[in-house]
Amino acid sequence: MFSRVARSPASIARSFCTSSQNNAKVAVLDASRGIGQPLSLLLKKSPLVVDSPLYDIVHTLGVAADLSHIETRAQVTGYVGPEQLPEALKGSEVVLIPAVVPRKPGMTRDDLFDINASIVATLADACARNCPDAMLCIITNPVNFTVLIVPGILKKHGVYNPKRLFGMTTLDIVRANTFVAELTGLDPSHVNVPVVGGHAGKTIIPLLSHCTPKAEFTEDTLAALTHSIQEAGTEVVKAKAGAGSATLSMAYAGAMFALSLLDAMNGKEGFKECAFVRSEEGKCTYFSTPLLLGTNGVKRKQGLGKLSAFEEKLVAEALNELKASIRKGEDFVRETAAQGEAQ
Ligand code: NAD
Ligand code: LMR
């Protein structure tokens, strides 16, 4: 049965605050605005990070100057504009990509594809050239497509390793844990709900039957809770009323994932997270499942385990949508490659 590494509030505070001997270089592309700023702050607080290059097309020098006054060990440096991107990436072991644009009320995540896809492709190309062994964590929406663009680019440079490419779905787990805790009265920092599938609407599949500690729900509550988790991003977009989507909770989720990955890269055992990754085992070529992390990224996929009838139905519904996303992502890769050859 899946469970994330049991992080007590004290252990979370430790990862963010105390000293240690680890030396990771963790880059953030783009660091100047919504997710980028608080994510960079959380990385600056972690003893697992020694060097934190912040890239964006604007304003990173100010963000870096501001963060650099915080009394922690991580060295923060700002890089502005595409000509400084290679320097930002050189030697980076983990790259977090919360780039480009968030959605506005009335939009779906898929509506962001046309604008976000080509910029993610450019950033992935720069990673392939300058930090070919880095773990790449794609936050940019629509995650169900943007992750698919990256392998082709890495393959072109001969540096693709599926164990090192992650689509970020951690926020779905964070939300599921919070909502279950609100309903049950449990301490949210002790609740673990794996969320599998993808990161949009019905492709977000909380496995509430795998919740630890075990929680029982009526059929109606199960349906309502699942719907709230699937629609939580849209709720934030509506509440922000045109000023973007989730930023602070995403920064928290991104930092949680990055710190688990860094702990695992440092040889610590038992770090488990869900992420949207290449999947050879299931019915879909990309699928988020619980992953055991290791020194080389994904050490072992934990699979889905035994599902309830309700969850089996959710997976079946999600598969059609996910397969369509994957086809669209693969078409984009083929068309972009064909345009490149024609030029
Ligand atoms: P934001 O607008 O606040 O920040 C985006 C950053 O991208 C800015 O710093 C901007 O300067 C930069 N940028 C814009 N155009 C660029 C270009 N042409 N080249 C390079 N950089 C460019 O947005 P945000 O709220 O931080 O969200 C960023 C992305 O993260 C969105 O796509 C959003 O949908 C996604 N997101 C994903 C999750 C998830 O769970 N995976 C959660 C929240 C948001
Ligand atoms: C989220 O889940 O909050 C993000 O994917 C942003 C969005 O557009 O909903």
248-265, pLDDT tens digit by residue?
A: 999 999 999 999 999 999
- Element holding 65 (H helix, E strand): helix 60-68
Closest residue by CA, ligand 2 atom 1:
233
Which of 237, 240, 276, 325 best tests ligand 2's pocket when mutated (most atoms within 8 Å of CB)? 237
Min mean pLDDT across 27-36, 77-86, 140-149, 325-334 is at 325-334
pLDDT digits (tens, 9 = 90+) for 60-113: 999 999 999 999 999 999 999 999 999 999 999 999 999 999 999 999 999 999
Q: Which atom of ligand 2 is nearest to the CA of 175?
A: 2
Query: To which residue do tokens 């599926």 refer?
Result: 162
Residues with CB under 6 A from ligand 2: 102-103, 109, 141, 171, 199, 233-234, 236-237, 245-246
Percent of the chain with pLDDT over 70: 92
Sign of dihedral through CA atoms 227, 232, 235, 241?
negative
Nearest to 250 by CA among 303, 171, 314: 171
Ligand nearest to the CA of 253: 1
Residue 108: which residues within 8 A CB-CB, separation 6 or more? 142, 200, 201
For ligand 1, the distance from its centroid to the CA atom of residue 235, given in whole angstroms, is: 18
Does residue 210 have an active-site annotation? no
Write the residue with the smallest CA distance to atom 17 of ligand 1.
100
What does CATH list as the number for 18-167?
3.40.50.720
What is the number of the ligand 2 atom nearest to the C-alpha of 172? 2
- Which pLDDT band, with edges at 50, 70 and 90, does 178 fall under? very high
Phi then psi dihedrals of residue 160, to 5 deg: -75, 130
CA 191 to the chain's CA centroid: 20
Q: Which protein residues are within 6 Å of ligand 1, measured from CB?
A: 30, 32-36, 56-58, 98-103, 112, 116, 119, 139-141, 143, 168, 171, 199, 244-247, 250
From the candidates 157, 199, 210, 227, give the one annotated as an active-site residue: 199
**pLDDT tens-digit profile of 206-259?**
999 999 999 999 999 999 999 999 999 999 999 999 999 999 999 999 999 999
Ligand 1 centre from 100 Cα, in Å? Answer: 4
CA count, 13 A, side-chain hemisphere, 247: 21
Nearest CA to ligand 1 atom 5: 100
Q: Would you tell me which CATH number, out of the four given (3.90.226.10, 3.90.110.10, 1.25.60.10, 3.40.190.10), belongs to the domain 170-325?
A: 3.90.110.10
Ordered by start, the domain boundaries in the chain are: 18-167, 170-325
